[in-house]
Amino acid sequence: MPNANTRVAYRNARLLDPASGLDQRGDLLTDGAKIADFGPSLFADGVPEGIEVVDLQGQCLAPGLVDMRVLIGEPGEEEKDTIKSASRAAVAGGITAVVLLPNTDPVTDEVASLEFIARRAREVRLVKVFAYAAATRGTEGNEITEMGLLSRAGAVAFTDGTKAIASAKAMRRALSYARTFDKLIVQHPEEPSLASGGMMNSGERATRLGLVGIPREAEIIMIERDLRLLELSGGRLHFAHVTTGESVDLIRRAKARGLKVTCDTAPHYFALTETDVGDYRTFAKVSPPLRGEMDRRAIVEGLADGTIDAIASDHTPQDQDQKRLPFAQAACGVIGLETLFPLTLELVHKGAMPLLKALACVTVKPAEILGLPLGRIAKGAPADLIAFDLEVPWKVDVTAFKSKSKNSPFEDRPVQGRPLRTVVDGRTVWQFEG
Amino acid sequence: MTGSPHSTTVFPHRHLLGIEGLTAGEITTILDLADGYVEQNRQPSKKSSLLDGRTIVNLFFENSTRTRTSFELAGKRLGADVINMSSDGSSVKKGETLIDTAMTLNAMHLDALVVRHADSGAVKLLADKVNCSVINAGDGHHEHPTQGLLDALAIRRRLGSLDGLIVAICGDILHSRVARSNIHLLNAMGARVRVVAPPTLIPSQIDRLGVEVHHSMATGLKDADVVMMLRLQTERMSGQYVPSTREYFYFYGLDYEKLAVAKPHAVVMHPGPMNRGVEIDSEVADDLKRSMILDQVELGVAVRMAVLDLLTRDRRGNNA
């Protein structure tokens, strides 16, 4: 495999760069960790000596995926996923950068915690690992964290991760204080007192199954409130995994008013609905819950019209002990690092979005939201790349996944398109061995 | 209508996890068989040898003296060995999961497992992991199928048929597995079902289950043939779903005044245990002409015998 000092020529590629709209046949040259050049006639006179050649035979070459919402178990619950296992899963999924949520044990709310993550990532040295820091101490929703010091230590943004910042006062302060460092606040939009005790989307399905429902309004109300607070406080706000049509409408209108608001969703919210809970299928228990078909369609529309900026895996590993339980007791979450890419491509194959637009949602858009210089093919940009086959059909096989946990509701789902090679800083860190 | 307890009807389900999904014919099969067992239970000698040598375990993760006793009697009257297990003494408190428990029980070669659990779907989870027949004795807010069946049997014996009846189910619908089983059953059998409760105790989109929703006893009970009252758990009473028991009884507690809008022959049911003076007035509860509460208890044993009989037929080679 090429090392960091090598120059590599990727030849006969379909070059795809969602940031610039590039979609043409050509070659790309990496020089160490950077992209040196690219274009249709880069090697018209042949590849100079000393450059390693990778012939992509017409396959696609795009920026590596930037996954802005990943939970792992390290530190604290290493049996679920470690930085190492999650990194291996990420690169196998075509992801070249992940951003970790702070909901570990201990919570990432101290400089030392960020340094620990950075050290483990350096040791593993596969995917680029970034981290959020908690917005409030212990993610308890009361006092804001040392945002300045945490920013200096590398926190890319602030969030209480899987928990909503429920107190309006704390949210106002977080938004306001984070402005000092031009940092983003990421909210899990769910009004906790409305969602409390809930297990799935409120409605007929929950009523039939006798499961406590979570109304869609739990999300909508929180988004409405936070948009007001954003107007009051200034700052930048990002809503994670939006799931309802009204949420998309609210954000669409807020953007039109010029508010600095962005949002993402996760594949399960556009690829599944509450009916996938079936007969108490705990792999379909997620937070926020899977919604109905109308909301699923609204999410797809939100992606298509650009209101929803990004798609994140929302990777939440849970081991068997957490999922092989009655639905009420089972933990929320699905693994997603290795299904993010094929499920995003599903939107393309189903005609919901053009390829470049879908790729933007998992590359340049999340990078821009977080202020990371990633996710694009440009001279001098980091050589974080993914080569992939856009068409090949396959079936999701969770047993082959690298994540330590296997809680995927997509097992056996027929998908189309898969990563063939993942390159981080010019190094090939993973190759498909089919 | 009365069937022989020793008929050879095959019930095409391995488990009884809920009423949802059962056909009117299948429900009728159970009720017909139960009718026969009612007669057996009224004899001085109540015991048969139908399930001789069979082992039934009552696995109750939630307290319930009356349902457990009813199942225990049903099993014993059919000649089976019945073991009662409760979560208090089991390994559950030592961290054993439900699936571990299932695997352990499976190794003991049971013929039937009767399960009650506080979580909806827990009985289904267990049923997927064991080889014996599983009977849901109440799972969370989901279903309590034998209660639905015994209610149906009580109505059928008193009023002749379920078809076309107006049945009002009143009270804490939100948390009631009895309500869900009864809604499925009554709909399948052609009854017209109403639910009557304050909006805080009505689950979302329950109208999609084929019921009319009423928030007033006056309209909900109008011309009803059957009034089913549900138990209110007092811990849910303060401030959360309704402001007080006093206010609840005033608007939703069943007394003669509220019952007066129902049909003159209308019967009153309650799955028990009752909160007298909360959801039902003692005068109504104890009126043997109107109240079928004790009939329900009696018929419960017969229904459970019928279910145990049907579910073990396959295992017995259908040669009972």
The series of mean pLDDT values per 10 residues for chain A, 434 residues long, is 74 98 98 97 91 97 98 95 97 98 97 97 97 98 97 98 98 97 98 96 97 98 98 97 98 98 98 97 98 98 98 96 93 98 98 98 98 98 98 97 96 98 98 90
Q: Based on C-alpha coordinates, what's the Rg of chain B?
A: 19
Contact assignment for B180 to A208 by CB distance below 8 Å: yes
Q: Which residue of chain A has the CA closest to B97?
A: A325
Length of chain A equals 434
Alpha-carbon gap: B36 to the closest alpha carbon of chain A (Å): 32
pLDDT at B316: 83
Q: Is A235 left (phi over 0), alpha (psi -120 to 50) or beta?
A: left
DSSP secondary structure, B277-288, as one string: TTTB-HHHHT-T
Alpha-carbon gap: A322 to the closest alpha carbon of chain B (Å): 10
pLDDT at A4: 52
pTM for the model stands at 0.93
CA A153/CA B87 separation, integer angstroms: 50
> Would you call A81 a catalytic residue per the annotation?
no
CA A83/CA A78 separation, integer angstroms: 9
pLDDT at B95: 61
Contact assignment for B120 to A327 by CB distance below 8 Å: yes
CA A23/CA B106 separation, integer angstroms: 60
Chain B positions in Cβ-Cβ contact with residue A202 (cut-off 8 Å): 204
Contact assignment for A209 to B125 by CB distance below 8 Å: no
Length of chain B equals 320
Q: Does residue B271 contact residue B147 with C-beta atoms inside 8 Å?
A: yes
Contact assignment for B204 to A203 by CB distance below 8 Å: yes
Contact assignment for A324 to B99 by CB distance below 8 Å: yes
Contact assignment for A212 to B209 by CB distance below 8 Å: no
> Is A328 in CB contact (< 8 Å) with chain B?
yes
The phi, psi pair for A357, rounded to 5°, reads -70, -40
CA B226/CA A118 separation, integer angstroms: 68
Helix B293-312 and helix B24-41, axial crossing angle in degrees, nearest 10:
110
CA B301/CA B296 separation, integer angstroms: 9
Chain B positions in Cβ-Cβ contact with residue A215 (cut-off 8 Å): 204
How many other CB atoms sit within 10 Å of the CB of residue B119?
24
pLDDT at B103: 87
Strands B133-139 and B112-117: parallel
How are the residues of chain A apportioned to helix, strand and coil, as percentages rounded to the nearest 5?
35, 25, 45
Chain B positions in Cβ-Cβ contact with residue A289 (cut-off 8 Å): none
Q: SS3 of A83, please?
A: helix
pLDDT at B97: 80
Contact assignment for A279 to B124 by CB distance below 8 Å: yes
Alpha-carbon gap: A395 to the closest alpha carbon of chain B (Å): 25
Strands A414-424 and A427-431: antiparallel
Q: Does residue B27 contact residue B185 with C-beta atoms inside 8 Å?
A: yes
Q: Which residue of chain A has the CA closest to B178?
A: A210
Chain A positions in Cβ-Cβ contact with residue B121 (cut-off 8 Å): 209-211, 279-280, 326-328
Two structure tokens written together for A36? 């040196």
pLDDT at B249: 95
Q: Is A159 left (phi over 0), alpha (psi -120 to 50) or beta?
A: beta
Please list the pLDDT of chain B residue by residue as tens digits (320 residues): 344 444 445 679 999 999 999 999 999 999 999 999 999 999 999 999 999 999 999 999 988 889 999 999 999 999 999 999 887 645 555 567 888 888 888 899 999 999 999 999 999 999 999 999 999 999 999 999 999 999 999 999 999 999 999 999 999 999 999 999 999 999 999 999 999 999 999 999 999 999 999 999 999 999 999 999 999 977 666 668 998 999 999 999 999 999 999 999 999 999 989 999 999 999 999 999 999 999 999 999 999 999 999 999 988 875 44
